[in-house]
């Protein structure tokens, strides 16, 4: 038999009410208070009296943990938690880049620092690259001073993840929000 993939979901199946096969469960009420280990039939009866569902939270525990709550509310909370985790994962791994040059004016450096502040507020890591051309590469002390001036121009609390390092084009460093 051919299964249609369009109707398949990647959400894990959540057992509720009679779908819970364990004879006993560790029961939590609507507020999350532990009511102890009770028979599954008794737990379902308590859930029905409250007008809610009995949802299996952790099926791998012995005995399984079940909670009395609304099934739709539980699905919404799980979806929200997954979305938040995905958002945190995306912003933590994405790196933004900003380039400044040795000849970049003080005003333009301030504008670039504002851009870096904006990236840091959103939770991104930022790679700042000081481009050095030709004979500027011999002036490492001036490059380090330019890097220090740039870091002092930042208003957002930051932490240097990778200190100023030499690259073929000049100097780069990676900063993130503290």
The model's confidence at residue 7, banded by pLDDT at 50, 70 and 90, is low
The model's confidence at residue 92, banded by pLDDT at 50, 70 and 90, is low
pTM (2 d.p.): 0.51
Would you state the pLDDT for residue 5? 63
Tell me the pLDDT of the chain averaged across its residues: 85
**Which pairs count as long-range contacts for 147-153, CB under 8 Å and 24+ apart, including other chains?**
147/171, 147/173, 149/109, 150/100, 150/109, 150/112, 150/113, 151/175, 153/109, 153/110, 153/113
User: Distance between terminal CA atoms of the chain?
Assistant: 55
* Torsions phi, psi for 9 (to 5 deg): -115, 155
Would you state the pLDDT for residue 94? 79
Q: How many CA atoms lie within 13 A of 17 on its CB side?
A: 9
Would you state the pLDDT for residue 124? 86
- β-bridge pairing 170-177 and 158-167: antiparallel
Q: Is 166 helix (H, G, I), strand (E, B) or coil?
A: strand
* Torsions phi, psi for 171 (to 5 deg): -125, 140
Domains of the chain: 11-87 (3.10.20.80), 94-177 (3.30.110.10)
* Torsions phi, psi for 91 (to 5 deg): -70, -30
Would you state the pLDDT for residue 114? 92
Express each pLDDT in 32-77 by its tens digit. Answer: 888 889 998 998 898 899 889 888 888 888 889 999 988 888 889 8
Encoded tokens for 33: 């208070």
């Amino acid at each position: 038999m051919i299964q249609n993939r369009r109707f398949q979901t990647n959400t894990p199946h959540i057992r509720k009410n009679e779908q819970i096969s364990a004879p006993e469960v560790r029961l939590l009420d609507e507020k999350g208070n532990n009511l102890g280990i009770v028979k599954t039939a008794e737990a379902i009866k308590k859930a029905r009296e409250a007008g809610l569902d009995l949802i299996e939270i952790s099926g791998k525990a012995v005995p399984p943990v079940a909670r009395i709550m609304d099934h739709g509310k539980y699905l919404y909370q799980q979806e929200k938690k997954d979305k938040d985790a995905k958002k945190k994962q995306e912003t933590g791994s994405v790196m933004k880049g900003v380039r400044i040059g040795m000849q970049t004016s003080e005003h333009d450096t301030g504008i670039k620092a504002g851009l870096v502040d904006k990236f840091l507020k959103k939770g991104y890591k930022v790679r700042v690259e000081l481009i050095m051309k030709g004979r500027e590469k011999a002036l490492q002390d001036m490059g380090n001073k330019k890097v220090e001036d740039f870091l002092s121009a930042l208003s957002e609390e930051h932490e240097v993840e990778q200190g100023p390092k030499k690259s073929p084009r000049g100097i780069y460093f990676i900063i993130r929000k503290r």
